[in-house]
Structure 1
């Protein structure tokens, strides 16, 4: 069975690359350097309107940091889920924890707001202490897909654990590998039996800002990240080579 490739996209250049190279799915987001945040409504609309664009799944994450959300933040997540789907997104990418466990109350609210659209649970999963229990909760909650590095910063450092996760899922929920994915890591990742691979495939572009914009954005030479088209091509080639063999 073909392994799907989901590309994380944070700007219009990434949209163009995704459409041109015909990736299988997009995770639309902003601020990948912070782990990804909810994109603007205008960006969602632009993605939906891009000719040849694959299915769009919007990351809903209202702030950087951890995933234990206040009631006000949870309300914002639900509003963003509704707005993203109303704008034409095919699904949403979400996550929430409560006292070290899956936030089942938030997940129930998300499932209701998604109203049958695809829901992916993101790498908040990798912060949990009992992956097996979390997997059971997710598989019963209407979540279609789990994005995971099997608890490591880079998925390539946790391939045995990823294989165990695929086995534990037993087809109840799709497992998608993510976290530090590169063209070179694809063969090892695919041997775990995952159904999909997620990557940002980005590189840095030198830039200069003449005035300080914040504590994490001082004045001077800097680098901004965008999609690396050649790296996307190499990942796609590695995936298709696997299919042929």
Structure 2
């Protein structure tokens, strides 16, 4: 059986690229350089209107960094979930941990209550959890639909042994979805090694922007930054290549 494909995007063009390539779902984010944060209301609304033939799951993460949130950040996340649901998002992507590295049950229950029954994915905060199997059981108890993970490693390929054990432990109770460093060259191996039935990737590419006047001295961010005149896009060829490679593994001729 061919797996289901989720593409991580941060633009309308990215969502349209994923839709046109035959992906089943996008995870809509902003600031992928930060690992992804909550997209703006305008971006959510525009993507949902422009790409009606693909499921749109919205990431809810108020900032980069760790996954411990205070009451103000929690209130912001609840409101962002309500907004995404009101705009017609198909699913919500969320996550929160305690200082000890466990799934924060109280906070997650509050966030889940705002989802209106939408599909819920627990994001890669899972990869920072103290005990992945205990975390998995907590997510099952919460009623989460899927968990995104690199197997607590640098990429899904390196983390494949743990992901395979998580897939087995989860059974039909929730979907364990590998993600992190998935490419056309390794997607078949990741699927084969893990036994996963869904896969997450970004297929990003960097292109030069159209600006002709450029100031090379000023930076809009910190010292660790990318070229101000470069754009990170979703690669149509990259998305198609990953999907084709994965389908070839699932349905060999």
TM-score by length of 1: 0.94
Aligned-partner Cα distance in 1 for 2:161–2:150:
11
- Residue 64 of structure 1: how far off its partner (Å): 0.6
1:128 partnered with 2:135: no
Q: Is the 8 A contact 2:85 2:115 kept in 1?
A: yes
Which protein has the bigger strand share? Answer: 1
TM-aligned CA distance change 1:132 to 1:222, over 3 Å: same
Q: Is the 8 A contact 1:24 1:55 kept in 2?
A: yes
Aligned-partner Cα distance in 2 for 1:97–1:117:
21
Q: Is the 8 A contact 2:11 2:47 kept in 1?
A: no
Alignment correspondent of 2:139: 138
Task: Tell which deviates more after alignment, 97-106 or 203-212.
Answer: 203-212
Q: Count how many residue pairs are aligned between Structure 1 and Structure 2.
A: 245
Alignment correspondent of 1:230: 237
- Residue 106 of structure 1: how far off its partner (Å): 1.2
- Residue 96 of structure 1: how far off its partner (Å): 0.4
- Residue 217 of structure 1: how far off its partner (Å): 7.7
CA RMSD of aligned residues (A): 1.7
1:241 partnered with 2:243: no
Superimposed CA distance per residue, residues 187-244 of structure 1 (whole angstroms, 9 cap, x where no aligned partner): 1111111121000110111346524323258797653311011110101101221232
User: Which runs of 5 or more structure 2 residues have no equivalent in the other structure?
Assistant: none
Alignment correspondent of 1:15: 15
User: Which runs of 5 or more structure 1 residues have no equivalent in the other structure?
Assistant: none
TM-score by length of 2: 0.92
1:89 partnered with 2:86: no
Task: Tell which deviates more after alignment, 207-216 or 77-86.
Answer: 207-216
Q: Is the 8 A contact 2:208 2:229 kept in 1?
A: yes
Task: Tell which deviates more after alignment, 52-61 or 136-145.
Answer: 52-61
Aligned-partner Cα distance in 1 for 2:14–2:51:
13
Alignment correspondent of 1:103: 104
Alignment correspondent of 1:26: 26
- Residue 24 of structure 1: how far off its partner (Å): 0.5
Aligned-partner Cα distance in 2 for 1:37–1:111:
18
Alignment correspondent of 2:173: 172
Map 1:196-215 onto structure 2 (within 5 A).
196-207=198-209, 209-210=214-215, 211-215=218-222
